[in-house]
Structure 1
Amino acid sequence: MSRPVIFCDFDGTVTEKDNIIAIMNEFGPEGWDEIKEAVLDRSISIREGVGKMFSLLPVHLKDEIIEFAIKNARIRPGFQEFLDYASDEGIPVYIVSGGIDFFIEPIIQQFGPIAEIYCNGSDFSGKTISIEWPNSCDEHCSNDCGCCKPSIMRKLEQGGAFKIVIGDSVTDLEAAKQADLVLARDYLKDKCEEWQIRHLPFETFFDCIEALKTETGVKR
């Protein structure tokens, strides 16, 4: 079997709930819900939607938002054990997230080892929060993803690795299409079923450990 590599989503996957949606619900800028629905029905791109939502929030809320995100985040059970298992088996775990650096980094910093974190950036120099896109789509993707998970996968892929994608939402759809195995829940699971993408459902990272044991042939 080819060497496994894991590409794991953050919001709604590592954390039990989507942090962007939680932040928007908490701080409630007018108009954000319409933008969210437009992203979900794919009438606007993820990049456009996330940028627009955060542009509704003034920069003076930065510390308050970070504090809320840290307190509100619930890590899905088994995440540290999952990282330990992958490390013991020599399987790199990359976090690939459509979330934003200023809340992801303080939430995840206590966990590891993680090979690398890929997410969107942030700029607080203006009146409202501006989102930066250091991981935009490559020439093979025209979906305006923001943080383009398939592009990151192509950049990191080494010699036909066995690509495992773990996720839950609209931001994981394109990555799922090029994975060898998808561990899916919620919206992503429904779409994998609809599009007949090979996947296994999960609720906790203990489920993911068991899936890795089965799929990578490691039984211990």
Structure 2
Amino acid sequence: MTTNPTTRRKRVIFCDFDGTITANDNIVALIKHYSPDGWEVIVKDIIEERKPIRQGVGELFALLPSSLRDEAISQAIAQAQIRDGFAEFIQFCADEDIEFYVTSGGIDFFVYPLLEPFGIPRERIYCNGSDFSGERIRITWPHACEEPCTNECGMCKTTIVRRFPASEYERIVIGDSVTDFAAAKIVDFVYARAQLIDKCKLLNLNYSPFTTFYDIMNHMKK
């Protein structure tokens, strides 16, 4: 009598954008560039989890007039730096048949153009939207929280992760900050930097620190 071999779960990666794919936080950098009154308090409230991400990010961009649209887009793109090894990592995922998704709390007007050179399909990029039709910049939320998440994430990473059942997928998060905390708690493994390292240690999560995407690649090869 023969038995069926255990089917190996397919690996899938959910990768943050700001501070992860890019070396800096593009939202903070953009707001800091224009430095509207009150922005620092809002950022601090988001980081220290006193204010939901959706509320805080919405408030930050509401400080800027829509007339800055073209200038803000150019500024956001110009100041961003892609983290070392990202292009090679995308190729590695393709070679190894690892599904790769960008799960970003960033905004479409800079996320899409910055990722365009890497050939990632739009349907695999999840981020927030933008509306410049009013007096102030308004952020839209096409990927808002679904049950059971009630964190007001804005772009809800746990909602995306849950679409990939743990019984079928080995789920991996790559990230750095408060926007990645909830997703890190429900996946198999985390590649972390900055604040996310502290959270992984606190919650005793399976993780490995990284500085570049070469670090992640080398760890995954082992």
* TM bucket normalised to smaller: over 0.9
Please give the TM-score of this superposition, normalised by the length of structure 2.
Answer: 0.93
Query: Match for residue 131 of structure 2?
Result: 123
Q: Does 1:70 align with 2:77?
A: yes
Query: Match for residue 68 of structure 2?
Result: 61
Deviation at 1:211, TM superposition (A): 1.8
Match of 1:195 among 172, 197, 203: 203
Match of 2:17 among 6, 10, 14: 10
Q: Identity of paired residues, percent?
A: 49
After TM superposition, what 4+ stretches of structure 1 lie above 6 angstroms from structure 2? Answer: none
Structure 1's unaligned 5+ residue stretches are: 215-220
Deviation at 1:155, TM superposition (A): 2.1
Secondary structure of residue in 2 paired with 1:171: helix
Query: Match for residue 113 of structure 2?
Result: 106
The answer to whether the 8 A contact 1:87-1:113 is kept is no
Please give the TM-score of this superposition, normalised by the length of structure 1.
Answer: 0.94
Deviation at 1:66, TM superposition (A): 1.1
Deviation at 1:112, TM superposition (A): 2.8
Q: Does 1:183 align with 2:184?
A: no
Query: Match for residue 170 of structure 1?
Result: 178
- What amino acid does structure 2 have at the position aligned with 1:26? H
- What amino acid does structure 2 have at the position aligned with 1:33? E
Larger mean Cα displacement after TM superposition, 113-122 or 134-143: 113-122
Instruction: Give the Cα–Cα distance (whole angstroms) in 1 for the partners of residues 188 and 166 of structure 2.
Output: 14
Paired residues, number: 214
Q: CA RMSD in A?
A: 1.2
Secondary structure of residue in 1 paired with 2:98: coil
The answer to whether the 8 A contact 1:6-1:164 is kept is yes
Deviation at 1:97, TM superposition (A): 0.4
Structure 2's unaligned 5+ residue stretches are: 1-7
- What amino acid does structure 2 have at the position aligned with 1:118? Y
